[in-house]
Amino acid sequence: MMKFKLKSSYMADLDTMHYWYLIVPCAVAALFIHPATAHYFFFRLLWAFCVYLESISVLPQLRLMQNVQIIEPFTAHYVFALGVARFLGCAHWINQVYDTHGAYLYLAGRGYFWIPMVFLAEIVQTFILADFCYYYIKSVISGQLLVRLPQPV
């Protein structure tokens, strides 16, 4: 929709994130670390790819918002809610590991890394959104309607 119906509001010059830098590492990670279930191999790869891509899927949006530097309230509220949801999801994984005394990290002693990798993906996504949430809370406390982000490095 951004490139066709809402083309007049799309800022192509500020949308500088190359998607292949996100897609290729996720595909490679999925090839090496995926769940060992009874499903077909292709579907296990797709599942792993989706988990890894979801953990970094907000990076293009955050990069665009950093380039714009001022975020409208509706977009800011959505990204903040996404950050809170990711934080709660990460807290859920931490709680699962704590309740099982770490046994949840390894399935039946098989020695593969699927569950730890999912846990790492949750932590990565939480920390990616934590920076935005910090500036969002800072804006709300100061009474500003628009969230202002610092210059990209």
Q: pLDDT per residue over 42-72, tens digit each?
A: 998 998 899 899 888 888 888 877 777 777 7
How far is residue 33's CA from residue 39's CA, in Å, rounded to a whole number?
A: 15
- Dig out the tokens for 9 from the structure: 């509001």
pLDDT band, residue 153 (cuts 50/70/90): low
Provide the 3-class DSSP secondary structure of residue 147: strand
How far is residue 45's CA from residue 39's CA, in Å, rounded to a whole number?
A: 10
Report the sign of the C-alpha dihedral through residues 141, 143, 146, 152, in that order.
negative
pLDDT band, residue 24 (cuts 50/70/90): very high
Cβ atoms 58, 82 nearer than 8 A: yes
pTM across the whole model: 0.74
Predicted local distance difference test score (pLDDT) of residue 27 = 93
Provide the 3-class DSSP secondary structure of residue 134: helix
Predicted local distance difference test score (pLDDT) of residue 18 = 81
Predicted local distance difference test score (pLDDT) of residue 79 = 85
Q: pLDDT per residue over 92-148, tens digit each?
A: 878 877 887 777 666 534 546 777 788 888 888 888 888 888 888 888 887 776 666
Cβ atoms 34, 20 nearer than 8 A: no
- Dig out the tokens for 137 from the structure: 């809370």
Cβ atoms 133, 97 nearer than 8 A: no
Report CA 36 to chain centroid distance, whole Å: 24
- Return the higher-pLDDT residue of 149 and 75: 75
Predicted local distance difference test score (pLDDT) of residue 26 = 92
